Chains A and B, each alone.
Chain A
């Protein structure tokens, strides 16, 4: 490890919307860097040593629960997955934009994701009556792998926070929402037609509201191929519009 331990300076956004006396400001905390220190560890140390009232979310500390996303020096990232050794001495932590602020670094991603899931009806739409005796239909390995790839989303909200379009209109489906659409659209068990999908994904908050800043893919902690998703959905809606004209 490094010969000299670094002194890290944390600038952390503080505001409690529930408290009428609270004013948005930043607090500064100094910590000595320890080997393999993550932001999650650092935040816990700050809470133990300096301020037990500091609010931030975490659950799994292994990049699976998606709770601890925050703006780290201007970029959305998971606190548990970010090593302080990858950061300069000065570390600015802000809550994710777009989402409703709960307090300090804690935001409510649940409401946004719930609304997105309801709007895109992100579940398998089966139109035939269920037959318990029928054998399950086979799915090709390629499709299964593609669906699995898109299903790795942990709903941390990094892509939404980094998205220029979502920062202007929080109803924009953003990377996570469009990824969800692609996941169900390519699933052969889902009986929704391309025309059904077209209305969802080409709506005013759908794929064409994307302004192409490409940040969603670059900040995704799970490295999901979000730009491939966008290309797939654009081509799919073009094909749907062209084929509906022929009919």
Chain B
């Protein structure tokens, strides 16, 4: 007996794997990204060394192309579940707000066996859509800007990513869109990983509560590192890890 599977069903599975898979890769990339940009915490020398290394060995260029592609593919496939009609979105938002609120109302007499278990995840989903939309705009801007930084040196006598340009830009006002982008990315990625893990049944190994806690720890950790990086790039504080390169050759 030949097993023929309905194409629609196969397609549903493929879409799910593409949206989840690209999301996973992008989230993991963002952690690496935070560490790489975080090289500014050791001072401009560390940052420039890192940038030159990634460009000279042609790591940066294909990465920009790959990430931009994944970014767009993820946007298309993850967005397939966002309701198209405004009235449908309002329906979902109202539902999520009601669910969030009902578990949190302070009731003096509430019993330990209250059936009202707290529920936040629906609202987190709404915020993932919102942050995703913001990232589509700000992320594209960032990818195009940095793509130009990385690719133009290939055609002329210009240096690629370097600390002086980056710091001038961020200090001159780009800190604001970058701060928004950072917040959106870290929220979207940490909640996305949590949701992805639950969807495929990671709660067999770990309770949902533990996973939610881990998600929150990751979110705050990366947000703090990213925020510190941004303040150093803006020139507001001195690189706190500069002592690490004190003895290093110039």
A interface, CB within 8 angstroms of B: 2, 71-75, 77-78, 81-83, 85-88, 97, 162, 164-165, 167-168, 193, 195, 198-199, 202-204, 206, 208-215, 218-219, 221, 227-228, 230-232, 234-235, 237-238, 240-241, 244, 247
Within the assembled complex, what's the spacing in Å between the Cα atoms of A71 and B101?
13
B114 within 8 A of A: yes
CB distance from A212 to the nearest CB of B (A): 5
Interface residues contributed by chain B, number (CB under 8 Å): 51
Q: Is the CB–CB distance between A235 and B110 below 8 Å?
A: no
Q: Is the CB–CB distance between A227 and B109 below 8 Å?
A: no
Chain B CB within 10 A, most for which of A78, A209, A215, A230: A215
If the complex has contacts A168-B83, A241-B5, A244-B3, are A228 and B13 also in contact, measured as CB distance less than 8 A? no
Within the assembled complex, what's the spacing in Å between the Cα atoms of A82 and B102?
13
Stretch at the interface among B50-58, B116-124, B177-185: B116-124
Secondary structure of the B side of the interface? Answer: helix
Within the assembled complex, what's the spacing in Å between the Cα atoms of A213 and B108?
29
Within the assembled complex, what's the spacing in Å between the Cα atoms of A78 and B115?
9
Within the assembled complex, what's the spacing in Å between the Cα atoms of A164 and B199?
15
B45 within 8 A of A: no
| Proximity string of chain B (160-176) to chain A, C-beta cutoff 8 Å, 1 when within and 0 when not | 00000000000000000
Q: List, in ascending order, chain A residues with CB within 8 A of B125's CB.
A: 164, 211-213
A-B pairs under 8 A by CB, number: 158
Q: Is the CB–CB distance between B96 and A213 below 8 Å?
A: yes
Q: Is the CB–CB distance between A198 and B103 below 8 Å?
A: no
Q: Is the CB–CB distance between A218 and B200 below 8 Å?
A: no
User: For window 88-105 of chain B, which residues contact chain A by CB distance below 8 Å?
Assistant: 88, 91-92, 95-99, 101-103, 105
Q: Is the CB–CB distance between B115 and A235 below 8 Å?
A: no
Within the assembled complex, what's the spacing in Å between the Cα atoms of A230 and B202?
11
Q: List, in ascending order, chain B residues with CB within 8 A of A202's CB.
A: 9-10, 12-13
Q: Is the CB–CB distance between B5 and A2 below 8 Å?
A: no
Q: Is the CB–CB distance between B199 and A210 below 8 Å?
A: yes
If the complex has contacts A208-B15, A228-B204, are A86 and B198 also in contact, measured as CB distance less than 8 A? no
Q: Is the CB–CB distance between A85 and B110 below 8 Å?
A: yes
User: For window 130-180 of chain B, which residues contact chain A by CB distance below 8 Å?
Assistant: none
Q: Is the CB–CB distance between B107 and A219 below 8 Å?
A: no
Residue from B8, B13, B115, B122 in contact with A238 in the complex, judged by beta carbons closer than 8 Å? B13
Q: Is the CB–CB distance between A2 and B109 below 8 Å?
A: yes
Q: Is the CB–CB distance between B204 and A231 below 8 Å?
A: yes
Chain B residue, CB-CB nearest to A94: B98
Q: Is the CB–CB distance between B92 and A74 below 8 Å?
A: no
Within the assembled complex, what's the spacing in Å between the Cα atoms of A237 and B10?
9
Within the assembled complex, what's the spacing in Å between the Cα atoms of A164 and B96?
8
Residue from B95, B108, B198 in contact with A231 in the complex, judged by beta carbons closer than 8 Å? B198
Q: Is the CB–CB distance between B107 and A85 below 8 Å?
A: yes
- Given A164-B125, A199-B6, A227-B208; 10 other pairs, CB 8 A cutoff: A74-B95, A86-B111, A97-B95, A165-B81, A167-B88, A168-B92, A215-B121, A218-B99, A218-B118, A244-B5
Chain B CB within 10 A, most for which of A204, A206, A234: A234
What are some 9 contacts across the A-B interface (CB < 8 A)? A71-B98, A73-B101, A75-B119, A87-B105, A168-B92, A202-B12, A208-B13, A212-B195, A231-B202
B203 within 8 A of A: yes
Q: List, in ascending order, chain B residues with CB within 8 A of A195's CB.
A: 3-5
Chain A residue, CB-CB nearest to B122: A213
Q: Is the CB–CB distance between B13 and A167 below 8 Å?
A: no
Q: Is the CB–CB distance between B8 and A219 below 8 Å?
A: no
If the complex has contacts A74-B99, A203-B8, A211-B81, are A230 and B115 also in contact, measured as CB distance less than 8 A? no
Chain A CB within 10 A, most for which of B13, B108, B121, B208: B13
B32 within 8 A of A: no
| Proximity string of chain B (1-36) to chain A, C-beta cutoff 8 Å, 1 when within and 0 when not | 011111011101101110000000000000000000
If the complex has contacts A204-B8, A231-B198, A241-B13, are A77 and B83 also in contact, measured as CB distance less than 8 A? no
Q: Which are the 8 A-B pairs with shortest beta-carbon distances?
A: A231-B201, A74-B98, A202-B9, A75-B102, A214-B121, A85-B109, A218-B119, A208-B12
Q: Is the CB–CB distance between B199 and A212 below 8 Å?
A: yes
Q: Is the CB–CB distance between A203 and B12 below 8 Å?
A: yes
Q: List, in ascending order, chain A residues with CB within 8 A of B202's CB.
A: 231
CB distance from A125 to the nearest CB of B (A): 15
CB distance from B101 to the nearest CB of A (A): 6
Chain A CB within 10 A, most for which of B97, B102, B103, B208: B102
Within the assembled complex, what's the spacing in Å between the Cα atoms of A208 and B83?
15
